[in-house]
Amino acid sequence: MDIITITQPRQAHTAMNASVSDDDDVEMGDMQENMDINMNIDIDGSRAKAEKDIVVPGEMITDDPSWMRGHGTYFLSEKTYSAKAGTILRVNKLLSVIPFKGRYSPETGDHVVGRIVEVSNKRWKVNIGAEHDAILMLGAVNLPGGVLRRKSEADELQMRAILKEGDLLNAEVQSLFQDGSASLHTRSLKYGKLRNGVFVLVPSNLIIRAKNHAHDLPGGVSIILGVNGYCWIYKTKLNQHTSTGVEQSKLEAAIKSSVGGYKPGAGTVSITSLEEQSSWDIYSDKNDAISNSIKETISRYKNCLLALSHCNISINETRLAKAYEISLGYGDVNSLVNYDTQQYIGDDLINSEKMRGSE
């Protein structure tokens, strides 16, 4: 009686090469070389996980010691293992694991929103949702008066008058320390203390990185989409040229009243004290008057932002504005807190994008 032996099927490159024309020999050679690296099958059946493979903590990625260990991996007994649940990222000979969900990892140039958690010697500690609190040095903020100068002991004593525990601010990541913590700065008019709005937290991996993360939205509302997932929705500031008209007239009146019989050529007038008083306003804890309609619009945008987060949809200005437009068809803003309604908004948004893509 004949004995039939069944061998285990193995992936053969020849079958793949047979389906490729002779014109693609060069491209196929490169693809095959990458496959030999990504799918390293040996006699024992061990292999290097392919890029985009899903791995879990403790799972072996490769037993080839020539690979360099990157973020989210660790090396043990000449083998590289995953330390997180995520997908593999391969850059040349560097292996990293990008987690599905985790703490925000700061990068230089990121626009973030944070909360002051501690005031210490010449610095503030800021919670930005990362593994370590960020550092905001006293010399990295705009001091009242707007003059670039050396920071004095008087400035140190007034640190809590500038920013205190619990205050929210938006800033830019200036640099990174060796332990991965971030150094922030607010040396720009678009950065600083936040007022007249509401804080919203979404997963940082849903925020789409862009050149600009501060946007004016329909309805008289603006938003800061922090790269770290900390968002701030607030009443849109009036145009600087129109909003400062009254303030400018008040400033001129104050100057005239302070100089009395001033004549041209008799000397210059110092308005340092007035400028300093005006610059202190950016650190005020008092909110401006906000109408009920603006408050309702802010609440609607907040619920739309939570709806995108609930549906795991990446967030940017365009999608948020579209979600706001869709939400207007669901009536009262209080109905948007319902998970079913949030799911409907997410589904409608995805369907509208598919329809635009098919046109």
Cα four-point dihedral sign 273, 165, 305, 211? positive
pLDDT tens sequence across 261-272? 434 333 333 444
Query: If DSSP codes are grouped into helix, strand and coil, which group holds residue 329?
Result: helix
**Parallel, antiparallel or unpaired: strands 86-91 and 68-69:** unpaired
Long-range contacts (CB closer than 8 Å, 24 or more residues apart) made by 61-65: 61/88, 61/95, 61/97, 62/95, 64/40
pLDDT in tens, the chain (359 residues): 455 555 555 554 444 444 444 444 444 444 444 444 444 433 333 444 554 588 999 999 999 888 888 888 998 888 999 998 888 888 888 888 888 777 888 999 999 999 999 999 889 999 999 989 999 999 888 876 555 566 777 778 888 888 999 999 999 999 999 888 999 999 888 899 999 999 999 999 899 999 999 999 999 999 999 999 999 999 998 764 334 444 444 444 543 444 344 343 333 334 444 444 445 677 888 888 999 999 999 999 999 999 999 999 999 999 999 999 999 998 888 889 999 999 999 999 999 998 877 45
User: What is the DSSP code (8-state) at residue 9?
Assistant: P
- The pLDDT of residue 351: 93
pLDDT tens sequence across 81-131? 999 888 888 888 888 888 877 788 899 999 999 999 999 988 999 999 998
Task: Give the global pTM.
Answer: 0.68
- Start-to-end CA span in the chain (Å): 66
- The pLDDT of residue 10: 53
Residue 160 phi, psi (nearest 5): -70, -20
- The pLDDT of residue 113: 97
Alpha helices (runs of H) in the chain, residue ranges in sequence order: 13-18, 25-38, 153-157, 159-162, 240-259, 272-280, 292-310, 317-327, 339-358
Rounded Cα distance, 320 and 217, in Å: 9
Query: If DSSP codes are grouped into helix, strand and coil, which group holds residue 187?
Result: coil
Site of tokens 């389906």: 19
CA dist 79 → 61, 69, 74, 87, 239 (Å)? 8, 10, 8, 18, 59
- The pLDDT of residue 21: 44
Rounded Cα distance, 160 and 196, in Å: 20
- The pLDDT of residue 102: 79
Name beta bridge partners: 123: 120, 137
In 49-196, which ranges are E strands? 54-55, 60-62, 68-69, 73-76, 79-82, 86-91, 94-99, 111-120, 123-127, 134-137, 168-176, 182-185, 192-193
Please provide the DSSP assignment of 272-304 as one string: HHHHHHHHHGGG--PPPP--HHHHHHHHHHHHH
- The pLDDT of residue 157: 85
- The pLDDT of residue 286: 86
